[in-house]
Amino acid sequence: MDKIEILIINASPRKNKNCYFITNIISSKLKEKNISYKVFNIYDMNIEYCNACGFCEKTGYCRIKDEMTPMYDMFDKSKGTIVVSPVYFDSVSAKLKTLVDRTQAFYSSKYVLKKPSIDRNKKRTGMYIAVGGSNSYDTQFKGGQIIMDFFFKSINTKLKYNLYLNKTDELSSKDNIEFKLKLEENLDSFIKEINS
Ligand SMILES: Cc1cc2nc3c(=O)[nH]c(=O)nc-3n(C[C@H](O)[C@H](O)[C@H](O)COP(=O)(O)O)c2cc1C
């Protein structure tokens, strides 16, 4: 398999809705620029909950073997990660939180064992896109942002781009011209960044 430069994590279970559409725009753009990528539709994947067994504190690796297992190495080798998540209760979707918790193996390797199982010196760039159904309100994106800030630190990836889309209950991402322009601009900058 070719080396995967960019991981795209789609954290919505809904097919052909807002996050899927955004994920497709990102994939097309990366394809056009000849950048290798892989889309992870995580609701279709078998990713178990972290059960706090403590194995990673002793080894730096996760004991659970499932579809998360190859992702550790992919995060390590990647040039970047893009996460697209729906806002659920002012946070990320539950499946995304499950994936985030599993990166505790990286956290333990760095801060408990002091023997990182991810290369901490490699340059990696991150983007987080949050999609909420309601009109704008103060806390709408706050919970998700806090979790994503921590997640991107855990995978040693600099989260440089954060995009928020609201009101999808009224106007879908597909029909939101302003958002699509913003996404294009941010993707162009992201691509420049990973190629620099
Ligand atoms: C369980 C659940 C919780 C939600 N909580 C929020 C919320 O707190 N704030 C908000 O703006 N939208 C909320 N929504 C609406 C979704 O964010 C919205 O439908 C979004 O478009 C989902 O992404 P998708 O269309 O790609 O599936 C919620 C939807 C569900 C199913």
DSSP 109-133: IIIISS--SS-TTS--EEEEEEE-S
One-letter identity of residue 58: K
Please check whether residue 27 lies inside any domain of the structure: yes
**Number of domains the chain contains:** 1
Q: How far is the CA of 85 from the centre of ligand 1 (A)?
A: 9
pTM for the structure as a whole: 0.97
Please check whether residue 1 lies inside any domain of the structure: no
Q: Return the best residue to mutate from 87, 93, 136, 142 for the ligand 1 pocket (most ligand atoms within 8 A of CB).
A: 87
Distance, CA of 157 to CA of 80 (rounded, Å): 7
Please check whether residue 59 lies inside any domain of the structure: yes
Domain of 52, in residue numbers: 6-195
Q: What string of pLDDT tens digits covers the 196 residues of the chain?
A: 468 999 999 999 999 999 999 999 999 999 999 999 999 999 999 999 999 999 999 999 999 999 999 999 999 999 999 999 999 999 999 999 999 999 999 999 999 999 999 999 999 999 999 999 999 999 999 999 999 999 999 999 999 999 999 999 999 999 999 999 999 999 999 999 999 9
Residue 49, domain CATH: 3.40.50.360
Distance, CA of 181 to CA of 178 (rounded, Å): 5
One-letter identity of residue 71: M
Distance, CA of 168 to CA of 130 (rounded, Å): 11
Ligand 1: nearest atom to the Cα of 18: 26
Please check whether residue 64 lies inside any domain of the structure: yes
